Amino acid sequence: MNVACDGPSGRGPWMGRVIRSQHISNLKYEGYINQKCTAPIIDLFNNEAISCSISECPTMPMIDDILMKAFARLDAGTNPVLHSDQGWQCRHRWYQYQLREFGIIQSMSCKGNCLDNACAECFFGTLKSESFYTSKFKDIDELKIAVEDYIRYYNTRRISLRFNGLSPVEYHLTSYPGRN
């Protein structure tokens, strides 16, 4: 699904209006590949990871955590589209209820359409190649800290040629001065 961004018009920090949620596994832990699930929400305007959570397995509390972190950044009266895969979490009544409560429009990819995942998969590929393939973590807490540190770096310091050498946060601030 492609939606054009038409500027701020009172839209708060998620300028892209289409945000992407996706789940992954296979982060290196104790030197082995164990299943760990991380779920970020990515703003498609500037590719900023606006919310993320990591756990041993996908659970509704984990999903609720990323939604609450994202909702805390959303200005009143904004109605972004949240695009996701068709995972059980995204079809869960509680998830759909939470989106409706905050005025977020839900969108899900077609079954088996990997191209809908391109932005999230690109983020995960970058996360893995720049931070995890050369690292070993002794426990999930160390892994969580590494993910949080990387996301902070990715959002505020990692430049992108697509954004004229600016980080996602810098691009957001220069595109819409006066916005946080």
Measuring CA to CA, how many Å separate 33 from each of 24, 59, 123, 132, 133?
13, 20, 19, 11, 10
- CA–CA distance, 153 with 157 (Å, rounded to integer): 5
SS3 letters for 56-120?
CCCCHHHHHHHHHHHHCCCCCCCCCEEEECCCHHHHCHHHHHHHHHCCCEEEECCCCCHHHHHHH
Q: pLDDT tens for residues 67-102?
A: 999 999 887 788 888 888 888 888 899 999 999 999
Class of domain 18-175: alpha beta
The closest alpha carbon to 75, from 51, 42, 104, belongs to 104
Q: What is the pLDDT along the chain (180 residues), one digit of tens a residue?
A: 323 333 333 334 443 345 555 444 444 444 444 567 788 888 888 999 998 888 877 888 988 998 999 999 887 788 888 888 888 888 899 999 999 999 999 988 887 776 776 788 888 889 888 888 778 778 888 888 998 999 999 999 999 999 999 999 999 899 877 666
> Are 133 and 150 contacting, i.e. CB atoms less than 8 angstroms apart?
no
The residue extents of the domains of the chain are: 18-175
